[in-house]
Chain A
Amino acid sequence: MKLAKALKLALVGLTLAFAILLTASSSLSKSGSAEGANAPPETNQYKAEDYVGAETCKGCHEDQFNGFSKTTHFKLTQMAGRAPDKQGCESCHGPGKAHVEGGDKTKIRTFQGESAKSISEACLRCHAGKEEHNQYRRGEHWRNDVGCTDCHAPHHAPSGLQKMESATLKAIAANLTPQSEVKMLRNNQPALCLQCHAEIKGQFTQPFHHRVLEGTMKCSDCHNPHGGFEQKQTRLAIGADAPCLKCHTDKQGPFVYEHAPLKVEGCAACHSPHGSSNPKMLKRSQVSQLCLECHSSIGQFGAPNTPSFHNLATGRFQDCVICHSKIHGSQTHPFFFR
């Protein structure tokens, strides 16, 4: 414990040290100027004649253009009626006329040296306002300065990378699939997510796990990578229910007798949602242990204690769900027997 506390103190100290160091360097540096500004960019304040069109950009930036032409974004360049600031290269890089005329790099937005938030604001010009993205500016990824281009490749990620192939784990390594290509992702799910959330990979390879590495499920089935109001950026199912209930539909209820933690604390009170070595992805290897950690009240409120005939020395009472088989909720039995 002392070691852990010392470690935490050291890390907090490290945080402060970084802050001071980099704040000082920021004040001395010339690069932390308007290029890195994070306020959302201007919208609808452009002159049409300042835009030159993607074909003009292609003249000098052919490689980027060829990549871009394979992306979903490129479709917008072919849609008549779209404003020039919302199609082609200039939708992100801004009007190119001044840059084209002199070839001056400073006359166009290159995003070089900008923070993830600043880059993301450029994307949000078009992508904000959709239910999926509405809470991005207050999400976990935003908070930790993970931006759109950390996961998405605006110029098209290279395809055809053949890496580790498994007969059962379709998403174990970084293969760019057509699915990820269409979404302009830098990699497939879950390999993309696991690049940062590396500790989760071990959970998905436990004997009991949700079939994510197999490709049957995706991280984004349960989590909204673009933010959201829920903790852990989980999605809601069926209006306002936990995402687990979308598939585990028989647990949705409502039940006459609700096992209160199911709705009030959530499924993760008892289960490890990514995977576990324990049956049913439970947090403990022995069911009675899991139950008793809550059902041990010392007189104040809380879950009720077990009755005295529950003789824990016998095998019958070590697996609580043998009797309490409807532990998630019951329509007719207060103790979840049927």
Chain B
Amino acid sequence: MKHKGILILLLLLAMGPVSALAQQPADKKDPAPADEGKVGNYTVTSSVELGVRGISVNGEADKFRSDFNYRPGFHVFNSSLLMRAPNNDGVLFDTLLINSYGWGADPNQYLRVSAEKTKWYRFNADYRQMDYFNSLRNFAAPPPLFLSQHISNTEYKVGDFDLTLLPQNERVRFNVGYSLQRNNGPSVSTYDYARDEFPILVPVRVDANDFRFGVDAKLWVFDLSFQQGFRYYKEDTTYDIDLPVPVPVPLNPGNNPTNQSVLTGFHREFPTRGRTPYTRFTLHTLLARKVDFTGRFVYSSATTRHQMFETLKGKDFSGNNIVLDRFEATGNAKRPNGLGDVGVTVFATDKLRISDTFRINSFRVNGGDHLTETLLRTRTTPFGETPLPPVFVDNLALSLTKYRRALNTLEVDYEFHPKFTAHVGHRYSDRRIEIGTLTKALGSAGELEPESFDNRTNTWFAGFKARPATVWTVYFDMERGETDNVFTRVENYDFTNLRLRSVLKPVKTLALNFSMVTKDNNNPARTDEIPPRDFGADINSRSFTASADWVPNQKFSLNTGYTYTRVTSEAAIIFFVSSLKREGMSRYFLRDNFAYVNLFAQLTPRMALSAGYRIHHDSGQGDRVGTDLTQPISGTPELIFSYPQQFQSPEVRVAFKLHEKLDWNVGYQFYSFAEKFQNLQHYNAHLPYTSLRFYFGGRGGQ
């Protein structure tokens, strides 16, 4: 991916400021400008950075795009505007803050606006746009081609807009809000048909809109909050193989080399509509300075309706000609969901608090789908096309998921000393899940008989915060108990989680941090055999982090850190090789070393240097080798996986102050990715850029 034109532009843009800088008289004064400018009643802090970036990628460009998707060209690197009326005497607003980033050639773009007129309103808007690309040789990319069959090049748009009226009013505040989500763009997926899989072109089209309003009020000793929302969902994604769009994967004849299935025509329409009204009510009070109480109830009732129409033609696995296979389906699903929470804290003494939090959550998902299929086939014989008997299917499917969970957390925290506080607690959960599906010919007998899963778990937790010295703070907490994950194994996971953090600030300008996080999930499952065998899963993770932040003055800063993450997962699994059932072990290893360093230096009053370096090195499974399933298996087979790789991203940026109101920046970023096993997705990406930052009003903090 070469973009010489962009690089030439970049060079030209760089040349101008160089000559301007050369003409600037030497400025011996401290360059620190006034923080704020003044416009009318407002103080103003504002800057906008415009520039151009070039990109050159050597190696697997699709992997680079999947990781970052940075593009060459002009864009707004960064902009911000802060206007404040110090005396609350602005006409339309007292505070206005606008931030934006990435508009133009950047995959991550946002615009944030906050405006407030004291007493009257507060408005917040957060709009984001993300250009998402995904095409990888190690995901949905069956060997021997190793070409992704799940490709996305879509755009996400997400926006939240909230307006609060009377924001400082202690008696009543009103709020209205709107959120939008959009996901659009071309993609490729796969469809399993006739014992084969076929890539299908999928232009994605998903919209959701969320409208809400609410009120916060103080009534006697109670703080009340109410919100009512409505969410509308619309999906009009279609599925085709007939679109004249070139894709780098063969649409036919499918992945399975051992059968004759071919799709020569495919079209699916699947309009889906959803609606979710939701209501939230919260009550809070503090009684006699002794009891803090919060109660919350949330109810939502999501529904979706769908219609599907699908036609396809080609050949089935026996070589029969599929003249037409036509599916039609209509159905709907509902999910009423009730969530109740109560939290109480009793201030037993001025140092002792006892808290209890109770939750009850119950939802049910009911689904129904009526599906018909009409299959018309012929068989090619030496005597011509022979029609085969048509096949008609008329099925009704019903499904049910019921979930009820009660959760109670009791905890006590005590302040032994302002420099030492500790807590201990217990969590209990009781969960029941019922799941069932039924598919039957329309009109035939049969009832849905859900299967139920119950479990109860207990967890203990404790922790403390200590300040052995004024400059040193230590946090520690741990949990030990059972998770309530009933699907993964026959028994609860026994888990022990532990966290330790240390923050040491020997002087105001230096912070030294250390943290350790360990998680052990041990599943003691055993088989029904006599004598039973272990058939469990042990998943252990360790993370050690050390970092240092040194900011001796405003002209120099250094941040550096190192994190070692280690995950080992060992799970007994069941799988099939050539139709033979195998019981083996699945092992996963992650051994990631991450280090970074960030440096800022004001080299001269007119020149500042920023430099950063980040590296991940994951050695994965090391020398361990799993069982080759394509060869005869002896003993217990082991599937060993990891993703050993190295990923580096150094960057440097030099900022020249050309004028009180103008900076010129020039920078370079480099991304390097190398993986160990497939060796198919290496890349080195060079991203030079240059930009001009204009200041309007004061410089502020940018």
The A215-255 residues at the B interface (CB cut-off 8 A) are 215-217, 229, 236, 238-241, 246-247, 249-250, 252-255
CA of A250 to CA of B237, assembled, Å? 11
Contact A11 to B475, CB < 8 A, known contacts A75-B88, A79-B118, A240-B298: no
Interface flag for A214 (CB, 8 Å)? yes
CA of A163 to CA of B549, assembled, Å? 11
CA of A178 to CA of B435, assembled, Å? 50
The A54-89 residues at the B interface (CB cut-off 8 A) are 69-70, 72, 75-76, 78-79, 86
Residue of B nearest to A126 (CB): B170
Please tell me if the beta carbons of A178 and B586 are within 8 angstroms of each other in the complex.
no
Please, what's the 1-or-0 string for A313-336, where 1 marks a CB less than 8 Å from any CB in chain B? 101101101110100000110100
Please tell me if the beta carbons of B139 and A229 are within 8 angstroms of each other in the complex.
no
Interface flag for B253 (CB, 8 Å)? no
Please tell me if the beta carbons of A247 and B333 are within 8 angstroms of each other in the complex.
no
Contact A253 to B299, CB < 8 A, known contacts A163-B557, A305-B574: no
- Give, as a whole number of angstroms, the nearest-CB distance from A5 to chain B: 9
CA of A69 to CA of B418, assembled, Å? 30
Please tell me if the beta carbons of A331 and B139 are within 8 angstroms of each other in the complex.
no
Q: How many A residues, CB 8 Å from partner?
A: 157
Interface flag for B4 (CB, 8 Å)? no
Please tell me if the beta carbons of A261 and B487 are within 8 angstroms of each other in the complex.
yes
Partner pick for B415 among A18, A42, A115, A164, CB 8 A cutoff: A115
Partner pick for A238 among B300, B433, B611, CB 8 A cutoff: B300
A residues less than 8 Å from B699 (CB atoms): 160
Please tell me if the beta carbons of A137 and B574 are within 8 angstroms of each other in the complex.
no
A residues less than 8 Å from B673 (CB atoms): 207
B residues less than 8 Å from A197 (CB atoms): 515
Contact A131 to B421, CB < 8 A, known contacts A170-B78, A254-B304, A258-B365: no
Please tell me if the beta carbons of B86 and A69 are within 8 angstroms of each other in the complex.
yes
A residues less than 8 Å from B153 (CB atoms): none
CA of A176 to CA of B702, assembled, Å? 8
Please tell me if the beta carbons of B292 and A22 are within 8 angstroms of each other in the complex.
no
Please tell me if the beta carbons of A168 and B500 are within 8 angstroms of each other in the complex.
no
Please tell me if the beta carbons of B139 and A182 are within 8 angstroms of each other in the complex.
no
Contact A19 to B464, CB < 8 A, known contacts A208-B67, A313-B577: yes
CA of A38 to CA of B651, assembled, Å? 48
Please tell me if the beta carbons of A131 and B490 are within 8 angstroms of each other in the complex.
no
Interface flag for B599 (CB, 8 Å)? yes
Please tell me if the beta carbons of B577 and A26 are within 8 angstroms of each other in the complex.
no
A residues less than 8 Å from B399 (CB atoms): 256-258, 334
Q: Is the interface of A mostly helix, strand, loop or mixed?
A: loop
Please tell me if the beta carbons of A308 and B118 are within 8 angstroms of each other in the complex.
no
Residue of B nearest to A37 (CB): B350
B residues less than 8 Å from A217 (CB atoms): 128
Interface flag for B392 (CB, 8 Å)? no
Please tell me if the beta carbons of A39 and B333 are within 8 angstroms of each other in the complex.
no
B residues less than 8 Å from A331 (CB atoms): 270, 272, 304, 306, 308, 329, 331, 333, 367, 369
A residues less than 8 Å from B401 (CB atoms): 258, 260, 263-264
Residue of A nearest to B231 (CB): A238
Please tell me if the beta carbons of B545 and A198 are within 8 angstroms of each other in the complex.
yes
- Give, as a whole number of angstroms, the nearest-CB distance from B183 to chain A: 7
CA of A37 to CA of B289, assembled, Å? 12
Please tell me if the beta carbons of B575 and A175 are within 8 angstroms of each other in the complex.
no
- Give, as a whole number of angstroms, the nearest-CB distance from B362 to chain A: 10
CA of A297 to CA of B528, assembled, Å? 11
Partner pick for B653 among A165, A173, A174, CB 8 A cutoff: A165
Interface flag for B177 (CB, 8 Å)? no
Please, what's the 1-or-0 string for B39-50, where 1 marks a CB less than 8 Å from any CB in chain A? 000000100000
CA of A176 to CA of B255, assembled, Å? 53
The B653-692 residues at the A interface (CB cut-off 8 A) are 653, 655, 665, 667, 669, 673, 687, 689, 691
Please tell me if the beta carbons of B108 and A300 are within 8 angstroms of each other in the complex.
no
Interface flag for A138 (CB, 8 Å)? yes
Interface flag for A196 (CB, 8 Å)? yes
Please, what's the 1-or-0 string for A23-47, where 1 marks a CB less than 8 Å from any CB in chain B? 1011001011010111111110000
Contact A201 to B181, CB < 8 A, known contacts A247-B156, A298-B574: no
CA of A130 to CA of B294, assembled, Å? 11
B residues less than 8 Å from A179 (CB atoms): 80, 97, 99, 112, 114
Interface flag for B229 (CB, 8 Å)? yes
CA of A135 to CA of B77, assembled, Å? 38
B residues less than 8 Å from A253 (CB atoms): 274, 302, 304, 333, 335, 365
Please tell me if the beta carbons of A182 and B223 are within 8 angstroms of each other in the complex.
no
Please tell me if the beta carbons of B109 and A181 are within 8 angstroms of each other in the complex.
no
Partner pick for A310 among B99, B565, B576, CB 8 A cutoff: B576
21 chain-A/chain-B pairs, Cβ below 8 angstroms:
A29-B417, A34-B350, A39-B289, A135-B343, A144-B465, A146-B465, A159-B700, A161-B551, A173-B598, A174-B557, A202-B545, A202-B592, A205-B616, A208-B67, A256-B369, A257-B437, A277-B618, A292-B573, A296-B572, A313-B630, A331-B369
Apart from A18-B474, A143-B413, A177-B99, what are 14 other A-B pairs with CB-CB below 8 Å? A11-B476, A70-B84, A76-B168, A165-B600, A165-B610, A166-B612, A178-B701, A201-B561, A211-B108, A216-B130, A249-B233, A250-B183, A311-B577, A332-B369
